[in-house]
Amino acid sequence: MKQDSTPIAAIATAPGRGGIGVVRISGKDLSAIVSALFGATQFKPRHATYLPFTQSDGSIIDQGLVLYFNAPHSYTGEEILELQGHGGPVVMQMLLARCLEAGKDAGLRLAQPGEFTQRAFMNDKLDLAQAEAVSDLIEASTEAAAKSASQSLSGAFSKVINELVEKVVHLRMLVEATLDFPEEEIDFLEKSDARGQLTRIQEALQKVFAQAAQGALLRSGLNVVLAGLPNVGKSSLLNALAGDDIAIVTPIAGTTRDKVTETIHIEGIPLNIIDTAGIRHDHDEPEYGEHIDTIDAVERIGIERTWAEVQKADVILHLLDANRGPTRADESIVERFPDGVPVIRIWNKIDLSGHHASVDEMEDATHIYLSAQEHVGMDLLRQELLRIAGWQQTGESLYLARERHLIALKQAYEHLENAASFAAQNDQSLDLFAEELRLTQDRLNSITGEFTSDDLLGVIFSRFCIGK
C-alpha cells in the first residue's frame, strides 16, 4: 500500500459535549503548521504547554494544552501535534477549521477514518492485529471484551502468531535444505523429527484457534433465535433473559409480527436474542381445542422473516408448551431447522404443567424445563448457552479475534494437514511438503499484516472512526 505523506488533521474525541476535546495533527514535518498557529513558540517533545488558541486575526477561540510528539516517538511514527481544549462541538469545529487554514500551504487535509492508525501500521508502530485491536478496544461493550482487546493491542496475539511462524519457518528450512542436497540420501523425516515438529505446530495452532474463537465471541456474540408456535412464551422468555419488558406479552396468539432483538451479556459474552413471529400455517389443524385463524398478510411476512433469522442463527431456542406437550405442528418446525446449528428445546410454562426445572440431555437435543413467566429455571438456560458458546473460565488470555483471523487460522491448519499427508509419503513428496508449509506461513502472516493485500487493508481501516 502506497503511503500518503501529506499531513492530516481531525477531531480525535467522540462527537458531542465533553469537558475536554482534542484536535490531532500528524505529518512528517509540522514546523510550518506550528509556526502558522503559534508563531515562534517552541514546544518540548512530550511536554504540555498551556496557551491560547487564536484565529488568524488574533481573536481567541479557546485556551488549552498543546502536546508535541517528535518522530518516530509518536502514535503514528510521524510528528504529532495535539490541541486539547474544551469539548464543545462548536469549539472543536472552530479549532479544526483554524488548523486546516493554518496548514493550507503545507497541504494539511482532513483525515480519513482510521488514517492515524493506518499510518501507525505503515510506519511499523503497530502490526495489523494490533491496529485492529485499537478499534476493538474503542468498541468493547463489556469489561471482558475490553481486557481481551487490550491483550491484543499489547501484542500478545501477534506474539503467539509470530512464534508459530518461526516454528513453521524452521521446519521449512530443514525441508528445503534436504531438497537442495538430495545426494546426501539422508532420511530427513526420521533424523530431523519432521513429523514430531509438525505435530507440535498443529497442536499449538489448535490451542491458539480455540483461544481466538472464544475471544471472537466477546466481540460479536452469538445470534440466539427464539422459534416456535404462537403463544408458547417466546416474548416472555426474551423479557426474562433481558430482565425488562422488551416485547409485548399477551394471551393472544400472533402478538409478535416482526423480529425483536435485544443484546444481553452472560459472563461477559454478548448474546443477541432475537424474538420472532410465531410459526403457523393456514392449513394447521386445531389441536387441544385451539382455534387457528387464517393468517393475514402482515403475519405471513413476519413468519417468512422468522425463517430467515433461523437460517442465520448460531443457536436456536425451540420453545414448546410444557402444559400441553408436543404437537404435530411443533415437529414440523423442527424439520425445517438448518443442519449443524445447535438447538435447545425449551419446555416453557412448567408453572402450569407441574414439571420441575431441569436439563435433560437427549439424543435429538438438550431439553430444558423452565417457566419464563415465573423466572424459574432461567439459570439452567444461561449455563447451557455458555456451554454451547464454548465459554470456559480458565483464566487463560483471550484474543479479541476477528472473523478474518479465524479464517486465516483455519486455512493455516488445513495446509498443515496437507503437509502431514505428504510427510507420510516419506521423501517422495518433500517438495509438496515444503509448499504446504509455505502456504501455512503466508496464512499466518496475513493476520499480522506481513502478507496482506492492499484491498483488505483499505477495508479494515475504513471501518475505524475518524480521528483514530
- Structural domains in the chain, CATH included, are 8-127 (3.30.1360.120), 138-217+402-449 (1.20.120.430), 221-389 (3.40.50.300)
Task: Please tell me the predicted confidence (pLDDT) of residue 41.
Answer: 85
Task: Please tell me the predicted confidence (pLDDT) of residue 295.
Answer: 55
Q: Are 298 and 247 in contact (CB under 8 A)?
A: no
Burial profile 28-59: b = 16 or more Cβ within 10 angstroms, e = fewer: eebebbbebbbeeeebeeeeeeeeebbeeeee
Cα angle 108, 6, 468; round to 5:
80
Which whole number is the average pLDDT over 49-57?
Answer: 93
Which amino acid appears at position 360 of this protein? D
Question: How far does the chain reach from its first CA to its final CA, in angstroms?
Answer: 19
Q: Of 185-194, 241-250, 270-279, 440-449, which has the strongest mean pLDDT?
A: 440-449
Task: Please tell me the predicted confidence (pLDDT) of residue 99.
Answer: 95
Between strands 8-11 and 60-69, the pairing is unpaired
Q: Of 257-271, 273-287, 353-367, which has the strongest mean pLDDT?
A: 353-367
Which residues contact residue 431 at a Cβ distance below 8 angstroms, ignoring those fewer than 6 apart? 179
Could you tell me what percent of the chain has a pLDDT over 90? Answer: 35
**Integer Cα distance of 259 and 195 in angstroms:** 52
Task: Please tell me the predicted confidence (pLDDT) of residue 185.
Answer: 45
**Integer Cα distance of 216 and 322 in angstroms:** 35
**Integer Cα distance of 157 and 176 in angstroms:** 29
What does DSSP assign to residue 402? Answer: -
More confident residue, 326 or 441: 441
Cα angle 110, 34, 58; round to 5:
95
Cis previous bond, 230, omega within 30: no
Using the predicted structure, report yes or no on whether residue 344 has a pLDDT greater than 70.
yes
Range with the poorest average pLDDT among 334-338, 369-373, 389-393: 389-393
Largest Cα–Cα separation, the chain: 89
Return the C-alpha cell found at 445.
Answer: 502472516
